[in-house]
Amino acid sequence: LDHLAHHDSLTGLPNRTLFSDRLRHAILEADRRERLVALLFMDLDRFKLINDTLGHEVGDHLLKQVAERLSTCVRRSDTLARLGGDEFTLVLTDIAHVDHVARVAQKILDTFKQPFQIDDHELFITISIGITICPFDDKNMDALVQNADIAMYKAKEQGRNGYQFYTAEMNIKTHQRLDMETALRRALERNELVLHYQPQVDLRSGKIFAMESLLRWQRPGKGLVPPLDFIPLAEETGLIVPIGEWVLRTACAQNKAWQDAGFAPLRVAVNLSARQFQQKSLIQTVSAALRDSGLAPHYLDIEITESMVMQNAAEAIKTLNELDAMGVALSIDDFGTGYSSLSYLKRFPIDCLKIDKSFINDVTTNPDDAAIASAIITMARSLGMKVVAEGVETEGQLQFLRARGCDALQGYYFSRPVPAEAFFSLLQQGKCLPAASGETAVDSRTLLIVDDDENISAMLTRLLRGDGYQILTASSAQQGFELLAVNPVGVVISDQRMPGMSGVEFLSRVRELYPHTLRIVLSGDKKPDSVAEAVNRGAVYKYFTKPWDDALLREAVREAFQRSAAERENRRLTQALQAANEALRAVPGAQPGTASKPTPPKR
């Protein structure tokens, strides 16, 4: 009877009662002998998944094997206990140094590297460990258990399969988290949640055609809480489901109210969380929001992420097809940041891809980001999808995207996310971007001079002004990239020595971003190796040392513009030939390729 009262019936380990008694005794003994006691709180990672998929019988067998494996890591004087579920504790007594505790924790982690064999199942499972030390952290038994529990959750936050020592900061953060969770649970009933709206602008017409609804929390006494501070907590606690339903209903109702006020109909985008998307009642929830608000389905855009649809692609296709059948628009948010299978992407009834902000930030300066953004635009168009670029903040980014056929933008360049009242004002003002001209300025006589020395830029401007060029100047590579994105530059002259980025590196990037520009570098060195290499690989068209010969530089610039014009004409004629051959293919009996190839003009 005594054994049954003090031991776990499944594993045979000490239970909570005996654990508490042993820990209390260890604390008293350590205080008398001036030694340390360590308490390890251990929790299996994703154990619930095993119970849910393989059944509780397999789960019980696993817990028995876990207990046996943990027992091999401890001394006879230590106490290994099972508190319940998949939670285990370990009391290490007579500890002289904290390093010994870390070695025990690592030994436990190492024992879990081998799989557990249960019937026909080979299971790989990891464990997260929280550690607290008496008397350093506390001498109270309940406080020590709480400390170890807090540290264990910190280990899970750090990616699981590891251990964390308790710190006082963890306790502060835990109390803050509990306080925020309690307040967040009351936020819905107290009407503290609000929606802000950020416009999406068509890059051809320049007009607002849609807006994204973004959740904010107006917490009393705390002001506006950033989404990153409470959305993860809402996800973890499951509060995101009722909050998400509120967002959906509110966004639909607000959009219909603006339509009823006489504004041109817009589409409102609503982000779904992973939990929402997995809800069996999702279709009913969306349908109810549309029905209750009176909003037509095609004015609602549901935004999901790549990772959400790829977790269970077959089920995702079914859900997306049901939403598509309702007439709701569907978008992939943050495209390019997660794992996506193109073979699945073409099977999803997706209307729009949203290029993630991380690719837009440096799209005018980083050839890799430029290539990724361009590739997404090209791919989306080939699949019949629209493209919205997120996080557009400069005119250079705008012009880059417009030149590559991006359909729309969203970002601070046009407007920050604003409350409903401020968005109403935007609609009243009819705010818009200048519409695209529909023409590409290719026959350019624009020259860009990049030099951090204003005197050099002024000298070059005076020298070349009389030749009829439109001259732009920049004092840094960053300014140069911005001007290149906005203006149809034909020739670039750059100094070699500039802060932050050398002239060769700048012109090498220019070659990748704008391959049809001609590039000239000026250097105070007598043909340094880096410049010679750049000339040899074609990144630099011409190289001049300082002081330069005015006549030779003027002639080089003139030749560069002539060459640039000739290459543009060649491209134009090639495109005309391709168009003619396409037209011939449409004529019955005509042979493709019979259009004569034009002779390029002489340079």
Q: Distance between CA 577 and CA 571 in Å, rounded?
A: 10
Report how far Cα 512 is from the mean position of its chain's Cα atoms. Answer: 25
Residue 41 pairs with which residues in a beta bridge?
A: 89, 130
Q: Distance between CA 469 and CA 481 in Å, rounded?
A: 19
Query: Tokens 């070659």 — which residue?
Result: 511
Longest CA–CA span in the chain (Å) reads 107
Q: Give the CA distances from residue 101 to residues 40, 90, 147, 156, 264, in Å, rounded to whole numbers and listed in that order.
A: 9, 11, 16, 19, 67
Within 10 angstroms of residue 120's Cβ, the number of other Cβ atoms is 5
pLDDT of 173 over the 50 cut: yes
Per-residue pLDDT of 38-47, as tens digits, reads: 999 999 998 9
pLDDT at 590: 56
pLDDT (mean) for 468-482 = 93
408-410/193-202 β-pairing? antiparallel
Closest listed residue to residue 571, CA positions, set 509, 520, 519, 515: 515
8 contacts 82 by C-beta, under 8 angstroms: yes
Banded model confidence at residue 441, pLDDT cuts 50, 70, 90: very low
546 contacts 522 by C-beta, under 8 angstroms: yes
Q: Distance between CA 553 and CA 444 in Å, rounded?
A: 19
506 contacts 494 by C-beta, under 8 angstroms: yes
Please state, for a pLDDT cut of 70, what percent of the chain lies above it: 93
pLDDT of 135 over the 80 cut: yes
pLDDT at 365: 92
Q: Distance between CA 206 and CA 408 in Å, rounded?
A: 9
pTM of the model as a whole? 0.70
Closest listed residue to residue 200, CA positions, set 191, 215, 181, 213: 213
Closest listed residue to residue 332, CA positions, set 322, 315, 346, 312: 346
Report the chain's mean pLDDT, rounded to a whole number: 88
Q: Distance between CA 325 and CA 320 in Å, rounded?
A: 8
Per-residue pLDDT of 48-89, as tens digits, reads: 888 877 888 999 999 999 999 999 999 989 999 999 999 999
Contacting residues for 157 by C-beta, under 8 A, at least 6 apart? none
For residue 355, give the H/E element and its range: strand 352-355
pLDDT at 314: 82
Q: Distance between CA 233 and CA 228 in Å, rounded?
A: 9
Within 10 angstroms of residue 27's Cβ, the number of other Cβ atoms is 21
pLDDT of 598 over the 60 cut: no
Contacting residues for 241 by C-beta, under 8 A, at least 6 apart? 273, 275, 276, 279
Report how far Cα 530 is from the mean position of its chain's Cα atoms. Answer: 36
